[in-house]
Amino acid sequence: MNSQIAPHEILELHELLNSNILASKKLNATVSMVQDENLKAIIQNSLNNKKARIQELQNFVNTQVNLQTNNQNNNQNNNQSGGGNNSQNQ
């Protein structure tokens, strides 16, 4: 199973993350100006949800980076150890 994400998916993740960060900043700026307590609670709840989504996306990206790094290291190790065996087996 291929666990790496495609380049176009990385771009989509980048856009999604930026969108959530921008929305979070707007909500954070808005919540301090709102006087109605019910509206303030709704905005604060939305802000908390945005922050949670941002954290989820960051965790996903970090996991993908770690997987790709591990795959690259494994491929390099296989190439280094496999290269000597091929010349001996021929």
User: Model confidence over 15-34: pLDDT tens digits?
Assistant: 999 999 999 999 999 999 99
How is the chain split into domains, by residue range?
Answer: 7-83
Q: φ, ψ for residue 35 (rounded to 5)?
A: -100, -35
More confident residue, 86 or 20: 20
CA distances from 22 to 34, 47, 54, 77 (A): 19, 11, 11, 41
Q: By C-alpha distance, which of 53, 58, 32 is closest to 43?
A: 32
Rg (the chain; Cα; Å)? 22
% of the chain surpassing 70 pLDDT = 87
Q: What is the pTM of this model?
A: 0.72
